[in-house]
Amino acid sequence: MAGVSRCMKYSMFIFNFFFWVCGCIILGFSIWIRVSSTQQGVESSVFAGVNLLIAVGAIIMILGFLGCCGAVKESRCMLMLFFIALLLILILQITGGILGAVFKPQVEEAFTLTLNTSVNALKSTTGEYKEYQEEFQKLEKKDKCCGLLNGPEDWGENFNKPSSNICQCELEKPSSDLCMKYQGRYIYKKPCGEVIIQQIKDNLVIIMGIAFGLAVVEILGLVFSMSLYCQIGRK
């Protein structure tokens, strides 16, 4: 009976090691996006896709390890488990992409609702959202922006508090591209909502690229694992 091809066996091992590394990268990158999104004060419900990627990255790491062991030990059981799990992930990715396209208007509506809720938190004068307001001012300084949707108006009465430096343009020579004069002082003119939306779009492009590349890798994994599985069966 024919033996197992050493080339196929070690190709499967190398592939799954690469697969495991991809899982580590996806997991680390997704966590970074999730943490940075939280620091920007955006509700977690908007980033359900990022949370899903965190789970996918962890699962891929486990599958990569399972595939490596299955290839080295020539275990048909491990290879079949690897094949089934990988196929399920691929189906979930395709389903998630379809659902994302279908429910895009609902996602945009939820994001708009989140921004409106955040504006109410900026206008609050009760002290309930004091910590959030302080963190948001750090975001304004960092990204050179003001408010969320309507600039300084989003701060309401808080903008006119004594010694308040909300949205204050800290450049030595205020540029007309970044700053404008409002109520006697220079402030940043761009709403932070625009900055956040642009960052989300940039992250989504990266996530889509990762998902597409991952799908190609998963298809190769299905081919490798089933080929090795059949060779071990004929051994």
Domain map (residue ranges) of the chain? 6-104+200-234, 108-194
**Helix intervals (H) in the chain:** 6-39, 48-73, 76-102, 104-123, 130-143, 192-234
**Residue 206, pLDDT above cutoff 80:** no
**Residue 131, pLDDT above cutoff 80:** yes
**Residue 150, pLDDT above cutoff 70:** yes
Residue % of the chain over a pLDDT of 70: 87
Of 115, 173, 120, 165, nearest in space to 138 by CA? 165
pLDDT in tens, 73-120: 878 888 888 888 888 888 887 887 787 777 777 777 777 777 788 888
CA distance 210 to 99: 18
Residue 47: predicted pLDDT: 59
pLDDT in tens, 13-67: 888 888 788 788 878 887 887 776 655 555 444 456 677 778 878 888 888 888 8
165-171 CB contacts, 8 Å cutoff, 24+ apart:
166/137, 166/140, 167/140, 169/144, 170/141
Q: Which residues partner with 181 through β-bridges?
A: 186
Give the count of beta carbons closer than 10 Å to the beta carbon of residue 164: 13
CA distances from 33 to 36, 114, 142, 172, 202 (A): 5, 18, 17, 32, 11
Residue 171: predicted pLDDT: 67
Residue 1: predicted pLDDT: 39
| Residue 152 CB partners (closer than 8 Å, separation 6+) | 146, 159, 166, 167, 182, 183, 187
Instruction: Return mean pLDDT, the chain.
Output: 79
CA distance 209 to 91: 17
Of 229, 209, 216, nearest in space to 29 by CA? 209
0.75 cut: is pTM over it? no
Residue 4: predicted pLDDT: 63
Residue 196: predicted pLDDT: 82
- 119 with 129: CB under 8 angstroms? no
Of 216, 234, 231, 213, nearest in space to 70 by CA? 231
